[in-house]
């Protein structure tokens, strides 16, 4: 995940160019983000957690010190138990929480160049997905089922204040290749 922030009160843009320190954290570090163990119903998911809280002051403190938080998918239940939580959900939740204080652009970086119309064609990147296109893709089952939770998180984040979302591989940062842009 990469998040660009613009501080509305101080007028600074925080991006990879001005950050000098990257800090790898779990949810337990500084109580950055916590979760509850997913309850056993039909399936026992083991030590899987569902996110409950983002420590916004913790993240703002890091950002103000020019520290880039690199978040892993390990959360905790505030009672000492570590839990595994979906990384896309953590990224979307942190971005949404911080959008109250910053202009946030969330970037999902993975092995594909973006959301693909045809999973077997690496060049079938969908350049732009808005709400209408998302529902169309969902209803026609055009895109991979594995991509649906990520897109669900994207549109939920947009509703909660994230300005823009980008999905693509590592070349997304140089913008040399195609990627998928998500907006309302």
Which sequence spans correspond to the domains of the chain? 9-101, 110-184
The pLDDT tens digits of the residues spanning 67-95 come to 889 999 999 999 999 999 999 999 999 99
Give CA–CA dist 59/40, Å, rounded.
32
Token code pair at residue 111: 């092995």
Task: Output the pLDDT for position 23.
Answer: 92
pTM of full prediction above 0.85: no
**Pick from 116, 16, 32: nearest CA to 67:** 16
Residues of the chain with pLDDT under 50: 1-2, 5-16
Give CA–CA dist 60/136, Å, rounded.
37
Q: What are the residues whose beta carbons fall under 8 Å from the beta carbon of 35, sequence distance 6 or more?
A: 27, 49, 50, 51, 52, 75, 76, 77, 83, 85
Give CA–CA dist 136/166, Å, rounded.
19
Decide which of 3.90.226.10, 3.40.1160.10, 3.40.50.150, 3.40.190.10 is the CATH code for 9-101: 3.40.1160.10
């Amino acid at each position: 995940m990469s998040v660009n922030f613009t501080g509305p009160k101080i007028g600074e843009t925080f991006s990879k160019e001005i950050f000098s320190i990257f800090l790898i954290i779990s949810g337990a570090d500084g109580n950055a983000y916590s979760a509850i163990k997913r309850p056993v119903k039909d399936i026992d998911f083991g030590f899987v957690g569902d996110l409950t809280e983002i420590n916004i002051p913790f993240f703002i403190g890091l950002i103000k010190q020019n520290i880039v938080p690199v978040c892993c998918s390990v959360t905790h239940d505030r009672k000492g138990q570590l839990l595994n939580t979906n990384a896309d959900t953590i990224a979307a939740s942190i971005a949404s929480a911080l959008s109250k204080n910053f202009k946030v652009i969330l970037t999902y970086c993975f092995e594909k160049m973006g959301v693909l119309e045809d999973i077997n064609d690496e060049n079938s990147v969908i350049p732009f997905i808005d709400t209408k296109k998302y529902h169309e893709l969902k209803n026609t089952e055009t895109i991979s089922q594995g991509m649906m939770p990520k897109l669900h998180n994207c549109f939920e984040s947009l509703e909660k204040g994230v300005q823009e979302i980008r999905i693509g591989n590592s070349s997304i940062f140089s913008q040399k290749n195609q990627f998928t842009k998500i907006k309302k």
